[in-house]
Each structure stands twice: as C-alpha cells, then as structure tokens.
Amino acid sequence: MNSHLSTKLIPPNERLIFALDVPSADEAKELIGKLGDSVVFYKLGLELFMAGGYFELVQYLVDMEKKVMVDLKFFDVPETVNRAVQRLVSHRATFATVHGNDTMLEAAVKGAGDGLKILAVTVLTSLDESDLRELGFKCTVEELVLSRAKRALDIGCAGVVSSGIEARSLRDSLGAQFMIVTPGIRPVANIDDQKRTVDIEEAFHNGADYIVVGRPIRDAEDPFEAALAIQRRISNLFPAT
C-alpha cells in the first residue's frame, strides 16, 4: 500500500501537538515546564478554557516561542463565530478548530484572515459508526468525513481534524495540499474511550501532517521522556534536512 507521508516543510519536532488537558492553568504551566523542549506545539481545549486563564496561557506559550492550536470547536450563529475568530487572531495562535456547518466555516475563515489557520473538525475520534447511526446519520464514518472535508476545503479552510483511519481516503480523494491534524494517537495498544485510533507511524503514512497526543504523554511516569520517545519516532519518518 502506498504511503502518503507528508512532504510539507514542517519542522519534524512541530509535527507532535501535545493536548494540554489539565484542570488548571497552574498545572498546565507546571507540565509545560516538565516538557521543556520536548514539545513545541500545544493544543488547548475546553477543560482549560473552563478553568480560567485560557488566553493568558496562550500568550504564555506564544511568548515562549511555542505554537498553539486553539481547540474550542466553535459552533454558533455564523456572525458570532466570525466575531469570536476575529478576537482570537490577536492572540497569535496557529490553528483554531470549528465543528460547524458550511456557513459557520465560511464565517470562521473570513474572520481569521491570513493570520490564523482554520481546521474543520470532521468526526470526533470518540465516535464510531454505531454512534453515527444513533445520531441519525445514514452513512459510514468514512463517507461523512470525506463529505465534510471536501466542503471545508472548498470553503477555504486550511485543513481538517481527522482520525488517521480516514486520512488515507482523504489523501486519495482530495490530494496532498491541505493539512490533516490527527488526534486519537496511541503509541501502544488503546485502552481508553477513543474508538478510532492509530499509532504514530500509521497516522503519518496514512497522510497526517500533525498528530495530537495527550494522555500517553500527560499520564506517563516521565512526560518529558514520553514526548521525546514520540519525537524520535517522528524524526525517523521525517529526518531533519
């Protein structure tokens, strides 16, 4: 089977995005300190947003010359999404996620301008086909991911958030130019609530440009060494030039 290994000019150590899912900004800063230079790119989601100090933490990371993915999955009236994304631009994040319909995505892209890349969430990696049936979808996960991704790219999104399982079909159908950010990465056998998971090498060979890893690093006895181990596996795939 052909590999869809990314050829985009992304520094190998930026291809790992760490999901900074902890209960408070203080705990986040403590973990950031432990991780040091083993992580360059951070994803900040809803848990930290609800904890307070979210945008101060974004600024803290940016001031450290780290990159930030704002994973708030905007879903609201299009004008509200547009205004929210406009406010976000000044915080100098790299990516922001939107989990909405076409008009919401259009509003987000318009609000982002040239300074922020919008990623469309396709199907959460915690859902499988039985979940989709319960939600009323009469299609496979792959069909839904492809449909949502195609519309998002036509609208002008920089890329999508997609399981590594569907990344290959996205590359086969839509090409290599757009970004694929793949969550649900499990370096070893999966035992948690993520249903559509892949390992590091499989995700990249299927077409991911970035992988998002959270619990396997956060919950490790030594998060720094856990992140470094993943970085070594990435550098074997993308040797620095």
Where in the sequence numbering do the catalytic residues fall?
73
What is the phi-psi region of residue 46: left when phi exceeds 0, alpha when psi lies from -120 to 50, beta otherwise?
Answer: alpha
- Which residues, 6 or more positions from 77, have their beta carbon under 8 angstroms from its beta carbon? none
Residue 128's H or E segment, with its range, is none
Tokens of 80: 């509200």
CA 151, CA 153: separation in Å to the nearest integer?
6
Residue type, 33: G
Q: For CA atoms 209, 125, 166, 201, give the dihedral sign.
A: positive
* Cβ pair 75, 87 in contact under 8 A: no
The CA distances from residue 90 to 6, 116, 227, 234, in Å, are 29, 9, 29, 31
The alpha helices in the chain, defined as continuous H runs, are 25-35, 46-51, 54-63, 78-89, 102-112, 129-134, 141-155, 164-174, 200-205, 215-218, 223-237
